Amino acid sequence: MKLREQFPALAQRVHGKPLVYLDSAATSQKPRAVIEAVQRYYEQDNANVHRGVHALAERATAALEGARAKVQKFINAASPNEIVFVRGTTEAVNLVAHSFGPVRAGDEIVVTALEHHSNLVPWQRLCARTGAVLRVAPVDDRGELDLPALERLLGPRTRLLAAAHVSNAIGAINPVARICELARARGVRVLLDGAQAMPHLPVDMQALGCDFYAFSAHKLYGPMGAGVLYGRAELLEQMEPWQSGGEMVTSVSYEKATFQKPPYRFEAGTPDVGAAVGLGAAIGWLEQQDRRALAAHEQGLLQYGLALLRDVPGLRMVGAPRERIGILTFTMEGVHPHDVGTLLDQEGVAVRTGHLCAQPLLQRLGAPAVVRASLAAYSVRSDLEALASGLLRVRETFP
């Protein structure tokens, strides 16, 4: 079966037109292997985990811990205990922002100008609670990180550096290995937002040397409701729980509670086992693919798309990073991005519009609202041709 045919959602029609799905940076479509794995779990193995001795509870627990082991292997973490299941990247970042420390008045948190709000607002709130200071490493007119400026910001009061591996707004790939190297040399801890990187780039925790890495299943061809926080073991051991309740305790009295070791210390309550199973299936599906070939395929589509969009009158690309994934972000002169998205939808073309949860970056690049078309393994040239054709119709509507 051809790769694209493994994604049943792509076979549908929208407004009478074949679906052209160019919103994969928001959420990817799911291969049949993932859908069937989740269905099979709910049909056969559904039970609460870790607490039961009956057969279904044991199978559900094995499924959850099997998914944890798959994630560990996939990202080359040192131990399954470094893999914390969360709802997604946003929850992972918030967990660290609440539990990492101590952070005191006058300490500094450094972020980059490329960040999604989910890797910016939690640090703003941490600074507001503690009196710490937020520093922002700038980008140039291409949307590329100013690495020398970042290096200058890493000082003796810097406690943590939070950076996107890949920008969700313009697809820029940050030099994360160099960023981690600069931070380690100064004793600064690093959290990387890997939400956009995981579907497209190989990621190796032990080679990379970051302290925390966050990503979501639903952008990685898996289900919504599951995500991962990788944390270096010695740091997770030092961190206090964020949420409290069942499962994350070892003993409880009316006076006090004692807590489990990581990762369970950070997994209060009933986990979304079905979503974790789906994440494991998505990793299994991706491991069966030739990832180098997929990367080359996506890069070829990116260049093809850039060439097509150059011929659309009044279209301006936003951001021009030299190292990037398959994201095409643009504006059209005289047309609001929401109108562009609505008219494209009538042609069956799904794109993202607005500020992309990256308002500071887009303001820096002179485009408070944009249109974003994003690619995935299942994207094809005809998708981009339909996008370009639809944009020409938008231009006819708004001369």
Q: Do residues 204 and 311 both lie within one domain?
A: no
Q: Do residues 70 and 162 both lie within one domain?
A: yes
Task: Please provide the average confidence, as pLDDT, over all residues in the chain.
Answer: 97
Residue 248 and residue 265 in contact, taking contact as beta carbons nearer than 8 Å: yes
Boundary (domain end) residue, out of 287, 310, 326: 287
Q: Do residues 182 and 322 both lie within one domain?
A: no
Q: What is the pLDDT of residues 343-383, one digit of tens each?
A: 999 999 999 999 999 999 999 999 999 999 999 999 999 99
Determine what percent of the chain is predicted with pLDDT higher than 90. Answer: 98
Residue 305, pLDDT above cutoff 90 = yes
Q: Do residues 21 and 100 both lie within one domain?
A: no
Residue 145, pLDDT above cutoff 90 = yes
Q: Measured between alpha carbons, how far is 179 from 177 in angstroms, rounded to an integer? A: 5
Q: Do residues 353 and 280 both lie within one domain?
A: no
Q: According to the model, what pLDDT value does residue 1 have? A: 74
Its pTM stands at 0.97
Pairing verdict, β 327-332 and 370-374: antiparallel
Q: Do residues 255 and 362 both lie within one domain?
A: no
Cross-sheet strand order for the sheet of 227-231: 83-86, 227-231, 212-216, 189-193, 158-164, 108-112, 133-137
* 165 band by pLDDT with thresholds 50, 70 and 90: very high
The CATH code of the domain that includes 377 is 3.90.1150.10
User: What is the total count of domains within the chain?
Assistant: 2
Rg, the chain, Cα only: 22
- Catalytic residues, by residue number, are 357
Residue 118, pLDDT above cutoff 90 = yes
Helix 291-309 to helix 381-397 angle, to the nearest 10 degrees? 20
Q: What is the pLDDT of residues 253-298, one digit of tens each?
A: 999 999 999 999 999 999 999 999 999 999 999 999 999 999 999 9
* 17 band by pLDDT with thresholds 50, 70 and 90: very high
Q: Do residues 215 and 252 both lie within one domain?
A: yes
Q: According to the model, what pLDDT value does residue 194 have? A: 98
Q: Do residues 126 and 146 both lie within one domain?
A: yes
Q: What is the extent of the structural domain holding 61?
A: 34-287
Q: According to the model, what pLDDT value does residue 52 have? A: 84
Mean of pLDDT values over 236-258: 95
Residue 48, pLDDT above cutoff 90 = yes
Residue 277 and residue 135 in contact, taking contact as beta carbons nearer than 8 Å: no
Residue 58, pLDDT above cutoff 80 = yes
Q: Do residues 267 and 283 both lie within one domain?
A: yes
Q: According to the model, what pLDDT value does residue 331 have? A: 98
The CATH code of the domain that includes 236 is 3.40.640.10
Q: According to the model, what pLDDT value does residue 51 have? A: 81
Boundary (domain end) residue, out of 239, 256, 287: 287
Q: Do residues 385 and 249 both lie within one domain?
A: no
Boundary (domain end) residue, out of 231, 266, 287: 287
Residue 268 and residue 243 in contact, taking contact as beta carbons nearer than 8 Å: yes
Residue 326, pLDDT above cutoff 90 = yes
Q: According to the model, what pLDDT value does residue 204 have? A: 98
Mean of pLDDT values over 331-339: 98
Q: What is the pLDDT of residues 212-228, one digit of tens each?
A: 999 999 999 999 999 99
Q: Do residues 186 and 153 both lie within one domain?
A: yes
Q: What is the pLDDT of residues 62-72, one digit of tens each?
A: 999 999 999 99
Q: Do residues 169 and 198 both lie within one domain?
A: yes
Mean of pLDDT values over 379-389: 98
